[in-house]
Amino acid sequence: MSDSNTSDSIDRLATQPDLDGLVDSTKLQGLFEKAAYLPTKEILTLVKLAIKLGKPILVEGPPGTGKTALGLAIAQILATDIYRIQCYEGISSEQVIGEFNYQRQLLAIESSKHQKNQLTDVFTPDFFIFRPLLQALQSEKPVVLLIDEIDRSDEEFEAFLLEALGENQVTVPELGTIHAKSQPVVILTSNNSRELSGALRRRSLYLALDYPSVAREAEILKLHVPDLDEHLTEKIADLLRKIRRNENISQPPSISEGIELAKTIAMLGAEYLEIPLLNELLGILAKSGSDSIELRKQLMDQSTNRSIEPSKSAI
Amino acid sequence: MQNTTNSDQSDLDLEEQKPLFFANYSILDLVKRLRILGFSISLTELIEAHQLLPLVSDIDEVRLGLRMIFCRSKQDQELFNLVWMNFYKITDRETGRITDQPGLQTNTSNLNSQNLPATAFADGIGEQITMSLLKISSKYKGIVRQLFDGNIRNAAAIMMRYMLIESLTASEIMVRQQDIREQVENMVADAVKDIDPDISDELMQQLDAELDQIIKENLENPPRMKRNPLKLQEIGDIPLITLSPSPELSHALKVMGKKLASKHRARKKGNKKINLRQTIRANIQRGGVMLELRKQKKRPKKPRLLILTDISPSTIHATRLFLSIIWNAKWVYSDIRYFEFIGSTIDVTKVYRRAYSVNDGIQASLEAWDKTIAGKENSDYYLAFLNFTKMTKNKLSKRDTIIILGDMRDWLGPWQRGTPLSAGVMGKLRKQVKKMIVLNPEPQNIWDSSDSICKYAEKEGLEVYETTNLNKLVDVLLKI
């Protein structure tokens, strides 16, 4: 099939997500909060800019800082579908664009042998299995495309994405160039485990996310666990910060783990952050044997170094 | 009702501010400054920057938006903030005052300090300063003059030139810097003592910041490089210890690192598996009859590196050169963790990941060393590798390659029955990883003398290579 035929069959229509109502930062902040995500001013600007310019967002930061959650929240705000591509070493373009359905092609060829009208082409969209990237580009309504942990993929895959991200189109040799019907909001996340290429960075709006400050984390906890006592919320945020500062802990607790801890404490109806209670809930924060030992040690150190409320080993 | 009026008023102010911002602060001007610092900003990004205007509601959003468009890393963001701080002032040509735009607030704490000298001129006090400078006879007067004119960048550039004159080594440059700075500070303090002594501190702080910036730029983009580039063939065989640090050398190492990366990425020939998916696709046009085989492309292997560098005085120079090459080729490795050792070991991976440049990383990592392990300045391979074993417990795998850069001279490590115990510790580590390579900057003919543990390490399965020059160093790195 020729290129022009493909372009005819697959419409070129670049519709953007509705920007009205998103330009106002206060309104946008409200929408984010409804989606249970507490945005910074930088994130609000980023979202407006990404939608207006139609540029992908590259979010970089350590694990558990809310990179993926940002994608999910944006999808919720735009009230649209989210297509997620989870990258890993060895992921190929076929796994995200799609591929021809070989079995179907063979069956079609075989069955056409006994028919008057011979089958002339089996490389048409009818025989093609559309996978997330192409589905996102082919969607009539703008969607959110979350390409998670892009740093885990190979450079070849990263290079392949350039066309899709820069031009909003994908080229399948047999089908030609397939243009986007709508402009998806693309979010790429990276844990910075390897250097991403300059070309990919150039095509994206860059956002560096780090663990939040104590005050901001307390606000996040409040948003997710409104029933929890304010004092206790601040204590949990403070505890999380201290744990993250401990360089002997290989996997610092993420924001979502902090939320889980807060939810559990609220569910148990605890009034103080007591060491015995925390020791029991250690599994929420520590994800390996060595981290668990280190955390236990840190909790003990903290309780002995600080003035503790009488008769309570609370921190 | 009142609220509505206020809101309308603020909207009006904002609308007035936006064109004002772009009239006075040309984006092109900002881009020009950023490009000098090494930002590669394309025309598309420039257009996107202009498209930002209708979307922003205050000046901070302008900053955030432009930062998102122009920056590609956290380090870029920090540099952008610095440039923004300096960019964020407008000189009113009629009054000569440097003023901040009303209502345009940024987070910069020292913004107000920037208008001090200009205010002084505007109030007629400038003449007083001029008279005071006329009385001084010093070759560094030009620096002071530029400072009072508000041209901090020029002042720092002139100072940099004086620092470089007749200085051959980095330490000489630093000594000259201190000397010049002291003289400039005295002149500035003298000139403003009757006006406002605080101005002196403010100006010197700005000069220091600008000078730091210029030094950083010179390390990243050596200005003399285009005139006198060092050819790799010329320096490849020169002994490492005779290569003195210079911008030319940094540039050559950068090129060397990139070449190493290209060689690493080149696909190696060898047995290839059949790619079933592509084979079916190729043969489907013949009704599925298999006539043509398609083979899989061999994927380049990406080793995970754990780099241990000896930072004792005898090897620190080789360490710097080695790290410079690795730094410029780091993207071909799947992950790199950095450690430093002498009498103990510290993990400096985070320091390097935060660093702007390799020199920045080395500097910061040495500071981290001073903070944590100061005092252990003699080589003790036993303790160092015992610490390293503890740090990497349960984290090593056959995908890892450990690279040690050191002279393998175990000064303080214990020996038992004529064998260094450190070799045993290294042997245990060797069994856990794919490869353990030692890059020894000492000539091979002096190995195995006195406290050297080279032969014992080799017995434990470590590969020890002589890396007395850059060519040998790169040859070994290609074997990883």
- Which fold does the domain B304-478 belong to in CATH? Rossmann fold (3.40.50)
Q: What is the C-alpha radius of gyration for chain B, rounded to an integer number of angstroms? A: 29
> At which of A187, A208, A229 does a domain end?
A208
Q: What is the mean pLDDT of residues B359-374?
A: 77
Does the pLDDT of residue A20 top 70, yes or no?
no
pLDDT in tens, B30-47: 888 787 777 888 888 888
Residues A155 and A199 in one domain: yes
Q: Work out whether strand B400-405 and strand B435-440 pair parallel, antiparallel, or are unpaired.
A: parallel
pLDDT number for residue B426: 92
Q: What pLDDT is stored for residue B132 in this prediction?
A: 67
Q: Cα separation of A22 and A85, whole Å? A: 26
pLDDT score, position A131: 92
- Structural domain count, chain A: 2
Residue A125 counted as domain residue: no
B-chain residues near A41 (CB < 8 A): 60-61, 64
Nearest CA in chain B to A23: B55
- The CATH code of the domain that includes A171 is 3.40.50.300
Nearest C-alpha neighbor of A37 from the set A206, A223, A259: A223
Let me know whether A218 and A203 are in one domain: no
Which chain B residues touch A if contact means CB-CB below 8 Å? 40, 42, 45, 48, 51-52, 54-57, 60-61, 64-65, 67-69, 71-74, 76-77, 265, 277, 280-281, 284, 287-288, 299, 330-331, 333-335, 347, 353, 393-395
- ipTM of the modeled complex: 0.77
pLDDT at B92 over 50: no
Q: How far apart are CA B328 and CA B326, in angstroms?
A: 5
* Over residues B283-308, mean pLDDT: 74
pLDDT, tens only, B131-190: 666 666 777 877 887 787 777 887 887 887 777 665 555 566 777 788 888 888 888 888
| Structure confidence at residue B402 as a pLDDT band (50, 70, 90) | very high
Residues A27 and A161 in one domain: yes
Confirm whether A145 is domain-assigned. Answer: yes
CA distance B327 to chain A (A): 11
Residue B48 C-alpha, separation from nearest chain A C-alpha, in angstroms: 7
Residue A59 is part of which domain span?
Answer: 3-97+133-208
What's the mean per-residue pLDDT of chain A?
A: 82
DSSP string, B79-90: HHHHHHHHHS-E
Q: What is the pLDDT of residue B213?
A: 80
CB contact at 8 A, B397 and B431: no
Q: Which of A208, A229, A252 is at the close of a domain?
A: A208
Question: Same domain, yes or no, for A51 and A29?
Answer: yes
On the question of pLDDT at B196 being above 60, the answer is yes
Contact of A61 with A191, CB cutoff 8 Å: yes
Q: Where are the domains of chain B?
A: 14-99, 132-221, 242-286, 304-478
User: Domain check: are A235 and A184 in the same one?
Assistant: no
Whether residue A182 is found in the same domain as residue A266:
no
Lowest pLDDT segment from A154-163, B241-250, B427-436, B440-449: B241-250
Mutation for testing the A interface, residue in B7, B63, B73, B372 having most A CBs under 10 Å? B73
CA distance B425 to B408: 14
Helix (H) or strand (E) holding B440: strand B435-440
Nearest-CB residue to B287 (from A42, A109, A194)? A109
Higher pLDDT, A305 or A166: A166
pLDDT tens track for A251-305:
889 999 999 999 999 988 888 888 888 888 888 888 888 788 888 888 887 766 5
A9 has a chain B CB within 8 A of its CB = no
Average pLDDT, chain B: 73
Does one domain contain both A197 and A221?
A: no
Tens digits of residue pLDDT in A200-227: 888 899 999 989 989 999 999 999 999 8
Which of the given ranges, B127-131, B143-147, B287-291, has the highest pLDDT on average? B143-147
Q: What is the pLDDT of residue B5?
A: 44
* Judgement on whether residues A21 and A139 belong to the same structural domain of the protein: yes
* Highest mean pLDDT of the ranges A20-29, A292-301, A304-313: A292-301
Q: Is the pLDDT of residue A85 over 90?
A: yes
pLDDT interval class at B223 (50, 70, 90): very low
Q: How far is B230 from chain A (nearest CA, A)?
A: 26
- Per-residue pLDDT of A59-72, as tens digits, reads 998 888 889 999 99
DSSP A78-134: TT--EEEEE--TT--HHHHTEEE-HHHHHHHHHHHHTSSS----S-SGGGEEE-HHH
Between these two residues, B431 and A288, which has the higher pLDDT value? B431
DSSP state, residue B452: B
Q: Name the packing angle between helices B421-432 and B381-391 (round to 10°).
A: 30
Q: Per-residue DSSP letters for A17-69? A: PP-TTTSSHHHHHHHHHHTT----HHHHHHHHHHHHHT--EEEE-STTSSHHH
Look at residue B348 in the predicted model and tell me its pLDDT.
Answer: 87
A194 in reach of chain B (CB within 8 A): yes
Let me know whether A168 and A194 are in one domain: yes
A20 shares its domain with A45:
yes
